[in-house]
Structure 1
Amino acid sequence: MASPGSFSRLRTKLMFIYLLILTILCICEAQKLNQTSIVFFLQDIASTAPNATVVPVIGIKGKDWSFNSFGTIFAVDDPITETPNRSSNEVGRAQGILVTSALDGSNVSVLLSIVFTNKEYGGSTLELHGVSRQNERFKEVSVVSGTGSFRFARGFAVFETIYYERSISYSIVRCTIRLLES
């Protein structure tokens, strides 16, 4: 008859083998995932003009409400277009909030819903969340979820400002989204 100690060691070895096999199966399954890329352009007007698409809604009393001022919260409703051209086909809206979340103003927390209105993805959304490091050329945030065609979405989005007109605070931001799907 086996001793209780040898049974415990055998059980530990079997558990280890089970976890090893499970890990190998998960890795194999992950390698079967396809990567999809979507590129579009946010038409961003950050001002107090009537046609602004990014506006500060609250901030710290006595401080300037800006992207460099800690505590400032912005509402966003940017048109999304197929190409950088402002008059190109609109495929959706980037709607959500931005919060200047670093004391020195270097980071902005991003909570955006990409709401598609085009024929291909109309009614579907992608949910983006993360920290946008303002001083970096490429700003990366997570794709944490989605609806419609993008249920269970996961991946990341990279924002790059490709055009900026200071006089009217108008930016064109290229958004490249990479998604994993089975």
Structure 2
Amino acid sequence: MREHADIRAILPQRHPLLLVDRVLELDPGKSIRTIKAITGTEPCYAGLADGAENWRYAYPPSLMIESLGQSAALLWLDGRVPTPGDDQVLMFVGARNYRFEGTAHPGDVLRHEVRLDSVVADTAFASGETWVGDRRVATVATLIATRRPVRPSGPVPPAIPAGGPASTPPMVVPSVWEGSR
């Protein structure tokens, strides 16, 4: 089991987007079970008026996806703390066949069960489910993540002028119609 301090040492996300509270089980290179407690004080609920209907407190699907993705990253990284000078950044590429079967609300605890299906070069493929108690609320057939250099190789693009993009001279692009005049 990994505690929250261990998770913070591994993942680059911070409040309010660090969405894994604890690792319950880790089978290195195979599977992970994590939890994320939902509270009514999360930023996603800040704009709700007093007396809002219960359905408005459904945890946003985008945050549920992010939480499961962070769980997959913990599995892929196998608990390794990034080393100083590591020039790689984790990137969420996408998810296929993500299905929501229910909702979660403040007071619920999301339990993510993720399997690492394969790793090809610097790209990982995972699948999993999200549960609230004994009720499955989401499944994903394929979650894709990759690791890329923080700084791309090759020439550095020109900087934006101090006055911002508005002070940049307009780009002149010849029209395809110019030759037909």
* Structure with a larger share of its residues in strand: 1
Between structure 1 and structure 2, the one with the greater Rg is 1
The interval holding the TM-score normalised by the smaller chain is under 0.3
